[in-house]
Copies of this chain bind each other. A is one copy, B any other.
């Protein structure tokens, strides 16, 4: 096990600026390409990250920390940004994501004061009991998953263009 709150926060606080550097100012041909019908483009990935900041990580964290016995996580819809699409620009999305993330890291720092809290549990709809440290580790790896997804979607756009080099480029194999 490698989880450490300060190291986790180092990653969480970098993701918005990493995605801002990667995405803001890119042509729509990049921002709107996807991997085929039913798959997400980069803007939809950012909408999903925003939705998670609003309705997933902190509500689940607070559920684990609250008094009482009912520790069921509140509902989360991973397709909320598809059924209710936002019309904001990439710059507006990045500003919103950055602002929510900064606020949420502040909440984490304020609420978590004692290592014993990391072992507290809540009830995940599919997995049953999960620990607070697993939720926080997942938040970090969820960021990595979606950075990875965005560059994979972009790379796919050039699959034919690279010619024989396709054989050497790892991102085209994942």
Contact = CB atoms under 8 A, between A and B. Distances in A.
A94 B32 CA distance: 29
Contacts of A165: 127, 130, 134, 137-138, 141
Contact of A155 (B18, B141, B169): B141
Given A18-B21, A22-B18, A147-B151, A141 B127 contact: no
A133 B11 CA distance: 36
Contacts of A152: 144, 148
B18 A169 contact: no
Interface of A: 1-4, 6-7, 10-11, 14, 17-18, 20-22, 25-27, 29-30, 124, 127, 130-131, 133-134, 137-138, 140-142, 144-145, 147-149, 151-152, 154-155, 157-158, 160-165, 169-172, 174
